[in-house]
Amino acid sequence: MVREKKIKFFKVPQLGSYLAIRLSYKSCLSDKAIEEAIADRIEVEKKREEQELARKDHEEELEVAKENKDAEALEALEEKVWEEINEKDYEVNENKYTICIDTMGQDRSLTPDQIRFALGLVKQFSENWEETERTNLRKDIDKKVDTYRKDKEYNELEGQNILNDEEKYIDDMLAARDDIETDEQRDREVKVYKFQYHSKQISGLTTEPDIPDDEDNKSGSSKPPTAKDKDRKTKDDKKKPTKDDKKGGKKEDKKVDRSSKKIESKPKDKEKEKAPVEGESDAEPEKLRTPRVDKHNQKWREEILSFKEAKEIRFPRIFQGIFYLLGYKREDICEEKTNKLWWKKAKKHINDEFFLKMFKYDPVGQKEGEYKPYQKVNNIEKLISELDPEVVDNYSYSFVKLLNWLKM
């Protein structure tokens, strides 16, 4: 008689079934898609404006023909058909993934209903993903085109005023300098002050004291900061009282001098205290040289900060060049082990420190510290050499401001 023996495999798990489902969707969130979509939107709007003007002219001609009862003109005008101007489809790339499900360890297969549910869920997920990306792209396009339109209007209205303010700033700074002897020195200083003016405009920072709204000028712009190592006092302020003036002064002046014991007891120490330190302005106290946000000059700062909301940006090399110039490292802003700007990573560095570095950047003289080859000027020039300023201008005036600042 043979007895049955049951063998149990305690360490062998129960089997099940496995299903792999392909998930593919058309992605439109890419640099190329954004560039082409924005350029196409701007072009379409221009064509629609031109068509609307042509339509109004056609309607006026039609009214004139009706009044004159010109049958031939009416027939020719009424036959005109207006072409519908639409935007192109977005540039897309197919992204492919695999969704895997299983019943491993359950010792059962997937039921037909579960398979149908999984297939339907993956299809729905793919469709929702496409629609979400298209919605985000439309939002980015609407925002950028709206900004472009406002910048264009602002430039048309305020462009000349900005140029006048820039010239006035440069003239004021040069007027405070008495050490410029040659035209070459003057041209160099003009470039430096022009760069400083643009740094103030873009960063929205200033070293001037805050001006109350009721005392502010009509233009709403802050005064230029004092020139480096120079005093911008008026002629009357520059006249320092001599000992003879103090002796022969009015009684009222003597009263003022007697009211302060420190001035009378230690005149020599006071003179030492007034003496300017080498390399430091004697016209500004330290608190006025500390940069602060200029409430009258935040337009470009706010627009640059708004770029952080975008998934991708056009002309990423402009920001890449600025980051390198300001001392940011490749690993801080680029994809790992590449020289390609990763906007999701880079935009985190657009903050107060970023604008402060722009404001304080000095284009003159040798820079201290160690710099990587990609952070040097020659490499940055190559980085932006292929950018067409006209194309950038048609896209965003804010990008033009950044590009011009970088080229300076």
Digit-coded pLDDT (tens) for 318-327 = 999 999 999 9
- For residue 389, give both structure tokens: 């300023």
- What does pLDDT average to over the chain? 77
Q: What is the mean pLDDT of residues 291-304?
A: 87
Q: Place 54 in a pLDDT band, splitting at 50, 70 and 90.
A: confident
pLDDT digits (tens, 9 = 90+) for 151-197: 888 878 888 888 888 899 888 888 888 888 888 888 888 999 999 99
Q: What is the mean pLDDT of residues 63-92?
A: 78
β-strand partners of 341? 334
CA dihedral for 268, 273, 276, 278, sign (positive or negative): positive
Q: Place 83 in a pLDDT band, splitting at 50, 70 and 90.
A: confident
Tell whether the model's pLDDT for residue 236 goes beyond 50.
no
Q: Place 333 in a pLDDT band, splitting at 50, 70 and 90.
A: very high
Tell whether the model's pLDDT for residue 280 goes beyond 50.
no
Q: Is the pTM of this model over 0.75?
A: no
Q: What is the mean pLDDT of residues 78-97?
A: 84
Q: What is the pLDDT of residue 143?
A: 80
Measured CA to CA, the distance from residue 384 to residue 91 in angstroms comes to 25
Identify the residue with better confidence: 398 or 35: 398
Q: What is the mean pLDDT of residues 307-327?
A: 88
Indicate the angle between helix axes 183-203 and 112-175, nearest 10 degrees: 140
Percent of the chain with pLDDT over 90: 22
Tell whether the model's pLDDT for residue 30 goes beyond 70.
yes
Q: What is the mean pLDDT of residues 94-112?
A: 90
Q: Place 126 in a pLDDT band, splitting at 50, 70 and 90.
A: very high
Identify the residue with better confidence: 389 or 394: 389
